[in-house]
Amino acid sequence: QVQLVESGGGVVQAGESLRLSCAASGRTLNNYAMGWWRQAPGKEREFVARITRSTGVTLYADSLKGRFIISRDNAKNMVYLQMNGLKQQDTAVYYCAARLLGSTDYTYWGQGTQVTVSS
């Protein structure tokens, strides 16, 4: 079992930056890719970014490239999402998730952290 706990959400103004953190515990994450997803009010959950464990290869949603940066610290079992130039449409609950390498589904999810961007 893997437990994921997000933190770092809050209320910011448009144009500002925020860094989200995800602390993982439980089973080793050696074989897991880590991802960030988000869900805005009234919308479906959408993919934000993911990063592999061993090579650190990243993938981003096309609309977020250049503004969001995902990173991880394997020694600390932490994953981060640096969000720059935030826009009102970035307002959502952000979730950290873990996906077993070779799988298409994310198996473990955190409880989410709210990010609100005001004008």
Q: Give the C-alpha distances (Å, rounded to integers) separating 1 from 4, 7, 17, 99.
A: 10, 20, 32, 12
Q: What is the pLDDT along the chain (119 residues), one digit of tens a residue?
A: 889 999 999 999 999 999 999 999 887 777 889 999 999 999 999 999 999 988 889 999 999 989 999 999 988 999 999 999 999 999 999 999 999 888 889 999 999 999 999 98
The predicted structure's pLDDT at residue 93? 98
| CB neighbour list of residue 94: distance below 8 Å, 6 or more residues apart | 6, 9, 20, 36, 37, 38, 48, 81, 112, 113, 114, 115
Q: Would you say how long the chain is, in residues?
A: 119
